A and B are shown apart, each in its own frame.
Chain A
Amino acid sequence: MTLDVLYFAWLRERIGAPSERIETGAATVADLVAELSARGGPHAEAFANLAAVRVALDQELADFTAPLAGVREVAFFPPMTGG
């Protein structure tokens, strides 16, 4: 499936791009993270500490165990600091 993967805040800076379009067979968010981390370099660095990373699927907060079936857009970002 084709996924748009978005990065925000320090994840965007570390990875060096705000988004990328990827082809993946990952079944869950955790599978996708493993796939991205396996590239090494900035991706491995960005996902080194998952406790500091949040994920949204099609603009709704989700868990790392969530399935990716039917999802178009995955976003990774640090805990939010609005207000």
Chain B
Amino acid sequence: MAVRVQREDFDLGAELAALRAGRSDIGALVSFTGLVRGAAGGAAIAAMELEHYPGMTERALAAIEAEARARWPLQASLIIHRYGALTPGEQIMMVATASPHRQAAFEAAEFLMDYLKSRAPFWKKEATPEGGRWVDARDTDEAALARWARPGA
């Protein structure tokens, strides 16, 4: 149950090890890592700048994590999201979810990703040979939230 917003890189292996350290009740540990791509939309990307809204970012991520924990029987969860200057190949963010069985862990990890893509206040700016460009939100990102809508909610 943790949310971290940081400029520094993280050690995926160490984070996952810490999540399950000293426990034998976890049966499934799922993680996702987002990386900076070296090209997008036919243009080479030299670097990426990730801007965020300090304060709201932590609140939004904590709310998304709390919602996931209300929906699935999670034994542990972690969201780490970086900001600042990143270069292709670098880690941008990670989510990890732990549960007794894999289905809940997989679903909760997807839920966290779908929500934080369009509900956590981060904005990506790519440096391309033609100059800087802000990454547009995609319609598919918003559409991805629809599948998590609850009847009557």
Contact = CB atoms under 8 A, between A and B. Distances in A.
A70 interface: no
B56 A59 contact: yes
Given A9-B134, A10-B134, A81 B55 contact: no
A82 B93 CA distance: 9
Interface string A1-42: 000001011101000000000000000000000000000000
Interface residues of B, number: 28
A68 B55 CA distance: 20
Contacts, number: 70
| Size range of the chain A interface in the assembly | 10 to 19
Given A9-B123, A10-B134, A61-B119, A82 B81 contact: yes
Contacts of A9: 51, 123, 125, 134
B130 interface: no
A44 interface: no
A77 interface: yes
A10 B136 CA distance: 11
Given A77-B123, A80-B121, A82-B81, A6 B137 contact: no
11 contacts: A8-B121, A8-B123, A9-B134, A10-B134, A59-B59, A60-B56, A78-B134, A81-B135, A81-B136, A82-B121, A83-B113
Interface of A: 6, 8-10, 12, 56, 59-61, 75, 77-83
